Amino acid sequence: MKRLVAPVVALVAAMGLLSGCADPTESGADSGGPIVVGSANFSESQLLMEIYAEALRGTGAEVTTKGRIGAREVYVGAVRDGEISVIPEYTGNLLRHFEENASATGSEKIYRELEGALPDSLRVLDYSAAENSDVLTVTSGTAESGLRSMSDLGSRCGDLVLGAPSEWAPRWKQRISEVYGCTFADIKNLEAGSVRVDALNDGRIQVANLFSTTAAIDRDNLVTLDDPQNMFPAQNVLPLAHRGALDEKQAGVLNRVSEQLTTADLTRMNKKMSVDKANPKDLAKQFVNQLEL
């Protein structure tokens, strides 16, 4: 059975929002200061920030949020320095932030390598089953023609056009040929996910590179192709924390969030945000209230 939750840690990370000469490795949980939960500059990260914040408030902690901080280089630095106590992250991309040539693809191996790659001021809590990973998607009509797995691509790739962001081909064009024997007829550089979805639905492309929690997958009844060879690395959602910022109780409640969070949950809430314009804070409260924490 796939391991989803690591042992609860005793202390996770210190929040360094203190002024003066305070030691930046001492903090939040130790000093009684507020926990600052951050997010990257996209809606799913903001939703996860609100989920973590709501769960932490349930422990009686004083919690503030700081959303849409910026790119990974910026917010990882903020967590490392203690300006942010904890932030949602994705295992595969976070590992490659610290180890550019990391080759692990499976959830457990990525997590173990990530634990060893982090600097002393950072630690990760348990990872969830929820992923927002690269996927190749097709319409339901294309899937019904016998294309449901990347293993089915093979010789059919010569008749298929892929829509993907510009960085896809340099990273994956050779790899998909090696792993699945697939060389697409063409790869169209379509940067925005919404543009790729539109192109897939109107037939300008036959395969689209999306992320697994993209709301349009559910909305438009798209089919994600299985990746049995794990070409795309796992991207399990987990909290990245500054060491010492959370006490055992606070770390434990975030681990229990991870234990219960699924990709289907994220996809459903992403759809509510993008289609129904739901407020992420309201969605987070509803979600946390139904968890066993």
Q: Write down the residue that tokens 């055992």 correspond to.
A: 248
pTM of the model: 0.80
More confident residue, 118 or 18: 118
Do the first three CATH levels of 28-131+234-289 and 134-224 match, i.e. the same topology?
A: yes
Q: Write down the residue that tokens 């190749």 correspond to.
A: 136
pLDDT one-digit tens code per residue, 179-230 = 999 999 999 999 888 999 999 999 999 999 999 999 899 889 999 999 999 9
Q: What pLDDT was estimated at residue 158?
A: 96
Q: How confident is the model at residue 71 (pLDDT cuts 50, 70, 90)?
A: confident
Q: Where are the alpha helices (DSSP H) in 20-155?
A: 28-31, 43-57, 72-81, 91-98, 107-117, 140-144
How much is the average pLDDT of 165-188? 94
134-224: CATH, from 2.40.50.180, 3.30.420.40, 1.20.1440.230, 3.40.190.120:
3.40.190.120
The answer to whether the CB of 293 falls within 8 A of the CB of 254 is no
The answer to whether residue 149 scores a pLDDT higher than 80 is yes
Average pLDDT along the chain: 89
Query: Count of CB atoms within 10 A of residue 155's CB?
Result: 10
Distance (Å) of CA 160 to CA 181, 200, 256: 13, 11, 43
Name the architecture of domain 28-131+234-289: 3-Layer(aba) Sandwich (3.40)
pLDDT one-digit tens code per residue, 226-282 = 999 999 999 999 999 999 999 999 999 999 999 999 999 999 999 999 889 999 999
Q: Report phi then psi at 151, rounded to 5.
A: -70, -20
Buried b (16+ CB within 10 A) or exposed e, 178-194: ebbebebeebeebeebe
Domain boundaries, the chain: 28-131+234-289, 134-224
Percent of the chain with pLDDT over 90: 80
The C-alpha angle 280, 286, 290, rounded to 5 degrees, equals 140
What distance in Å separates the CA atoms of residue 62 and residue 68, rounded to the nearest whole number?
20
Q: What pLDDT was estimated at residue 143?
A: 97
Percent of the chain with pLDDT over 70: 89
The answer to whether residue 32 scores a pLDDT higher than 50 is yes
